[in-house]
Structure formats: structure tokens, C-alpha cells
Amino acid sequence: MNRQKADKALAIAFTLFVTAVAVRWFYREAVWSQALFRMAEAALVGGVADWFAVTALFQRPLGVAFHTAIIPRNREKIVRAMSYMVQEEFLSRQSIQRHLQKIRLVSLLINWMESGGKQVVFRLLTRGLAAWLRNADRSRLVSTLAKVTQNRLRAIKFHCYATVLGRWLIHSGKADFFFNLVLTEAKQVAVRPSLRQEIYRFLNNATHQATGESTLGRLFGTFLRTFDFINLDEAADALYQRLLSELEALEQTHHPLRVWLNERLVQSLNELEHNPEWQQTLEQWKTGLVDRIPLEDILRPLVDGLLGSATEQNLGSIDESHTLIAGVLRFADRYWVALRQDTALQDWLERHLQEAASEVVLSEHSLIGELVGQAMGTLSDEELNVFIEDKVGEDLAWIRINGSVVGALAGLVVFFVGQYVYLPYIWPLLVGGR
């Protein structure tokens, strides 16, 4: 359409020129016919010149190869220039970051999720988890989890955590709570009749060991028991009652044994904090314990419970009702509700999203120019011409139209200057000067 306007203007200029030639043939002496001829001549020359110039940008006008088809011949330069212009001018790092800072990314995320994005995300999450569950190698998963857990436990500096935990137990009063808990369990064991029998058997064995296995020792022991020098029943009852009374007394926080245990705990923590030998011993004990724990046997039932039965996987019946998927979806939903209601969490997420977006802009900004270059590089010469002409075709058409209009005005001005200034005034001076 733009080219048609310019072509019509050139056709009008040519028609005007033909008309001016005919008029001048019949009215050769008339000044107005001469002016019309000069105007039409200049308009045609200007139109043809601008047509040649504009056409030379895209192709070879009239087959002339000298400095024509400028755009196709310089397509690589044009593509690089456009890529650079888009990357560094239109979409520069600074402009993108300025626009990002004006946008509340979390608000956009919340609005999108509330308008149906949540269902899309959860559906994709369900499909992804289901596909993973169908293809999961349980044995390999258990082995990997066991190795990761074991390596994590080995890497933990247990003496540091033990020191921190011990001091927390003391300062928070939890040490007394755990001591009372153990004391309660000990009292429950102590009230059992079997404990008194165990004490009696212990005393009886100790008596036999003390008197020995010789004949004289057995006679001496029999003598002591016969004359009631040794009454094991009474001794067992006394020890049993003494044990019960001591357990009752230990409930008092100021009991000497409890005070001594607390002091000993503090001393042990200080020693553990500053004694490398203790630390090394504790770490060796921890490492040995970790190596002896059958982690794969412990994790296998857990993994089976999370992944479900193999029958479900083979039948492909895994959906959002699956234990693991349902748990993940519930967790995701609770986190989403918390995010939607917690402005502080939204601000925290906004900061991280802005930082991530800035990092992407800084590190991947050159991708903009590459994408523009790839898109422009796929265009043929004809398509590139059409692409550029679509963008600036209106202006190019007006260049051609203005060539005819300006040429006509310039021809008219030159004629009148020559006719009414140069010939009557300047030319006589030049001739007279000779």
C-alpha cells in the first residue's frame, strides 16, 4: 500500500511531464508553459531519483549493481545492529531492572495462583510425582538415602551439639525434667515384687562367694545362718526399703545426689568443650554407632510406606490420593495459605525473587541479542526486505512522494529566478563586463 502511493505520485509526475511537453509544443512562447515544463521536468527527475534511491535499498533497480541492494548485501551488519539495539537500547540491563523494581512479583504470583494457577501447579506437581513414583527404583533409593544419612551423621560434630544441648538442658531446667522422668520409671520398676527377689538372690550369691566353696567355708556359712548372724531375708527387705526411700528422697531438687549429678554434668560439659581427647573419643563413639545402625533396614519400611505398593505402580493407578502425593499437596497447600496471609513472608519472598530476577538479567542478558539475531538470521533476503519495509515503508513512500513535490517546487523556483532575476539583471551584467 505504501509503495502504491509513491508509484501513483511518480505516475502523476510522469503524466504531468508529458502534458507539459505537449503544452509547450503548442504554446512555446508562453511563460506559463515554460514554467509548467520546468516544474514537471524537475518533479519527474526528483521522483525518479528518489525511486532509484529507495529501491536501491532493497534490490537492484534497472539491473544496476553498483551500490544497490544495500540491505541484502549488508544483512549480517543489519542483524548485528538490530540485535545490539534491542539488547542494549530497548531492553538494556538497567531498563529491565528498573521495570522489575516497579513490579510486585509476589502480587503477580498470588493473583495468577488465585485465578486458576494453583490448580495448574498442583496438577503438574501430581503428574511429576506420579511419574517419579512409577519409575522409582526402591532399592537404589533406600541405598542412596542410607548413604546420604550416614554421611550426614558422620559429618556432624557431635561434641559441639552435645555441649550446646547439655547447657540448654541445664539452663532451661529440662535436665531436672528428664531426671524426674527417669526417676519415675525407676520407681515403677522398684515397686515390683520381683526386685526384692533379685536383691535376695544377689545377697545369697554374694554370701556363697564370701564363704567360698571349701568344706570349712560352707560349715562357717551354715553356722552363721543357723544362729541368725546372717539373715538374708531381713537384709533384702532392708535394702529394698532403703532403695524405695532413697528414690522418694531423690524427688527433692536439693538432694545431695542430684546436686552432685548437676555439678558433674557441668564439669563434663566444660571438659568436653576444651578437651580434644574427650571430643575425639565422643566422635569415635558416634562414628562407631552410626556404622552399626542398620539404616537400610530402618529406611526400607519408611520408603515402602511413602511410595505405596508395587501393584499400584504397575497398574498406573497413582493419583492425588496416593500417600506421598497427598502429603506433598497438603504441605504445599498449607505453605500457600501461610504465604498468602503472611506479609513478612511475602516481603522475604519478594526480595529473593527480585534478587533472582536481577541475577538472571545480569547473567543471561546477552540471550536477548542472541534470540533476536537467530530470529533475524532465519529470514531470507526477500523476507528481510518485507520486514524492514513494513516498519519504515510509510516513510520511504513519503520520501519518494516528497522527491516529486520538492522537485516540482524547486524546478518552479529555479525557472522564476532564472526568468525574472538572472536573465534581466545578472546576465546583462555578465555580458556587459566582457
One-character DSSP codes across 309-368: -HHHHHHT---TTSHHHHHHHHHHHHHHHHHHH-HHHHHHHHHHHHHHHHHHHHHHTHHH
Contacts of 203 (CB under 8 A, 6+ apart): 232, 235, 236, 239
Q: State residue 216's pLDDT score.
A: 40
Q: State residue 219's pLDDT score.
A: 44
Q: State residue 232's pLDDT score.
A: 64
Radius of gyration of the chain (CA): 51
Going from the C-alpha of 17 to that of each of 35, 62, 147, 404, 405, the distances in angstroms are: 12, 21, 94, 11, 13
Q: State residue 211's pLDDT score.
A: 52
Q: State residue 18's pLDDT score.
A: 92
Q: State residue 15's pLDDT score.
A: 92
Residue showing cell 535499498: 57
The series of mean pLDDT values per 10 residues for the chain, 434 residues long, is 79 90 87 88 90 86 81 83 82 81 88 89 85 80 87 83 82 80 79 73 66 46 45 71 78 81 83 84 85 85 70 52 79 89 90 87 81 82 80 83 89 88 82 67
Q: State residue 161's pLDDT score.
A: 80
Task: Give the DSSP letter of residue 231.
Answer: -
* d(C-alpha 194, C-alpha 198), whole Å: 6
Going from the C-alpha of 106 to that of each of 109, 332, 338, the distances in angstroms are: 5, 16, 13
